[in-house]
Structure 1
């Protein structure tokens, strides 16, 4: 598919890479172009060449995890957010037809977060939304976890709604205490295998069940990795959220969690390139809830794009997920300096018989002999 848009794509600040160690690792035999640190620091070189080679028109950049959420000192977290936002604004300005950015925020103080969000969305250029790396670390030992379903964050949610700023909730590492209790004896299950999804899905469901989306009906939230397991648990989640059993739960009594998807909650394909899983997600929450993403540089751009471009499903859903849903969710992409436009399936090269040749059933060029590669 031509003209794809991708959302969960990370960068690192050159001056703070050592202080803000990225999640992930680099193989010992990795080439320079495969090196995680190199790719986090690079924006206009290898990253852009791979976008060109794989028909990705726009990439929305975000500060690598754990970012500001991993810093327990409020002043240091706020300083990192400001520096990251100033830096990425300048980078996007160099090529705003190919790049946009998510605002980075410290979430220690909801009022300060709202003020930084307003600064970026009204006084700066190139920002289309916010990305938060799950909970905010706090406390003298970093083990205090601040979650945004707390009522004191309504001040922030009100600002995000007023500024028409969708918010992406991205995974991060656990606190030292949680790591010691749950993951240290089994580190292979932490991070991308299980830990990320477990923590982010809890946080998203906490926000929804606290009634945040009901109090702010124009607020939009996004999670990656095909919904952080939520679509596959949807029946059981809605079945077990008994309103009589949990009378203090803040979510509306007449709505299921499923009802919020496609209107206020969206998911991306980042790092989860499975067609059966995609079909399951579409069956549970609809193609209007799904957006293409890659998770670069933690995932391969060619791998993500080869998978998505090979999907065998109706062309309108493919183009909606690959591009047009994004433009509806992030309207600033359609405005200066980005000026992206909704495109048809035909314009995106999806569907049709492009070479005009006769076929013997779309998959093979010979009636009697198999010629297609496995």
Structure 2
């Protein structure tokens, strides 16, 4: 499929590490994740764009690499990192806004300040289409975790709803104390293989069952990695959220978690390129709740686009959820399956088509 929109794509700026952001050497030795990970995070308009062109990706939403401001336990430092990252990302995106957009980074120490910085990004800067929050906010000595299902965060959720800014919830590492208690000796499970999803799906379900989406019915939340295990477990989640057993749960009494998918909660395929898992997600939460992402440069662009694509997943749903994509500086348009090279090739006047996907009689065309 051509003309895909990718929504969870990491980026960094030269000052990021010195401001307390992601340390590129901390995750894996150089060469283990796509060559030079640090250089790949800084690159936007060179190899990244070339690979986008080669693999039918029209547009990428860039966001500051996790854990961003959420890892900075000092409020002043987290706010400084967020502001600097947003200024730098806006400038980078506006070099080529037809191919790139930005997700704003926020310190979540103070919900009112987070709302203020979001409004600055939305109204004073250019190129932003949504928000990224990297799970909980570290505070205190680094072991205190601030979660956004607390009622004090309603001022932030109100701002996101008012602006029409979808919020992408992204995973991050455990606190030092939890890592020591839960993951020591099994460090290989603490990150992408298991720990990331287990922590983030708890946070998302906490937000939903706290009634945040009921209080803010136009708010949209997005999670990656094929739904952080939630689609597979959705029956059991709803089955066990028994209202008689948990009468104080603040989610609307006439709704179950499944009801929010496709209208307020959405997933992307970032870093999870299993066709069978995608089919499971579609069966459980519906195709309208599913969108495409890669997780570049932590994941390979060619690997991602070899997964099963549909036009709604690859493009249409992103335009519906991230409304700023369709106007302003980005100007992305709805495209038909034929224009996206799905359901046959786009054949120009005078061309001969030899079968559904072939211009050539001698060789098979490759669908992307």
TM-score scaled by structure 2?
Answer: 0.93
Partner of 2:183: 183
Partner of 2:46: 45
Partner of 2:156: 156
Return the alpha-carbon distance in structure 1 between the equivalents of residues 22 and 31 of structure 2: 20
Partner of 2:171: 171
Post-superposition CA distance 1:248-290 (Å, at most 9, x none): 1000111110000000000000000000000000000000000
Cα RMSD after superposing both structures: 2.1
Is 1:82 aligned to residue 83 of structure 2? yes
Post-superposition CA distance 1:303-346 (Å, at most 9, x none): 101224xx5xxxxxx00100010000011011110000000001
Q: CA deviation at 1:25?
A: 4.0
Post-superposition CA distance 1:51-107 (Å, at most 9, x none): 111111110000001100000000000000000000000001100010000000000
Return the alpha-carbon distance in structure 1 between the equivalents of residues 355 and 128 of structure 2: 47
Post-superposition CA distance 1:101-136 (Å, at most 9, x none): 000000000000000001111111100000000000
Q: Matches of residues 1-374 of structure 1 in structure 2 within 5 Å?
A: 1-18=1-18, 19-22=20-23, 25-26=27-28, 28-29=30-31, 34-139=35-140, 141-308=141-308, 311=309, 318-352=310-344, 356-358=353-355
Post-superposition CA distance 1:169-193 (Å, at most 9, x none): 0000111001101112200101100
Q: CA deviation at 1:30?
A: 6.1
Task: Check 1:117–1:358 CA distance in 2 against 1; reply closer, same or farther (3 A cut).
Answer: closer
Return the alpha-carbon distance in structure 1 between the equivalents of residues 114 and 136 of structure 2: 14
Q: Retained in 2: the 8 A contact 1:226–1:270? A: yes
Q: Retained in 2: the 8 A contact 1:13–1:84? A: yes
Return the alpha-carbon distance in structure 2 between the equivalents of residues 372 and 330 of structure 1: 32
Q: Retained in 2: the 8 A contact 1:232–1:281? A: yes
**Unaligned stretches of 5+ residues in structure 2:** 347-351
Return the alpha-carbon distance in structure 2 between the equivalents of residues 60 and 127 of structure 1: 9
Return the alpha-carbon distance in structure 1 between the equivalents of residues 30 and 113 of structure 2: 41
The secondary structure found in structure 2 opposite 1:207 is helix
Q: CA deviation at 1:358?
A: 4.7
- Between the two proteins, the alignment pairs up a number of residues equal to 356
Return the alpha-carbon distance in structure 2 between the equivalents of residues 122 and 100 of structure 1: 15
TM-score scaled by structure 1?
Answer: 0.91
Q: CA deviation at 1:26?
A: 4.9
Task: Check 1:275–1:42 CA distance in 2 against 1; reply closer, same or farther (3 A cut).
Answer: same
Task: Check 1:205–1:124 CA distance in 2 against 1; reply closer, same or farther (3 A cut).
Answer: same
Task: Check 1:252–1:332 CA distance in 2 against 1; reply closer, same or farther (3 A cut).
Answer: same
Q: CA deviation at 1:352?
A: 2.2
Post-superposition CA distance 1:138-196 (Å, at most 9, x none): 01x11000000000001111111111110000000111001101112200101100000
Return the alpha-carbon distance in structure 2 between the equivalents of residues 291 and 49 of structure 1: 22
Q: Retained in 2: the 8 A contact 1:131–1:167? A: yes
Partner of 2:349: none
Task: Check 1:30–1:256 CA distance in 2 against 1; reply closer, same or farther (3 A cut).
Answer: closer
Q: CA deviation at 1:353?
A: 5.9
Q: Retained in 2: the 8 A contact 1:25–1:36? A: no
Q: Retained in 2: the 8 A contact 1:143–1:175? A: yes
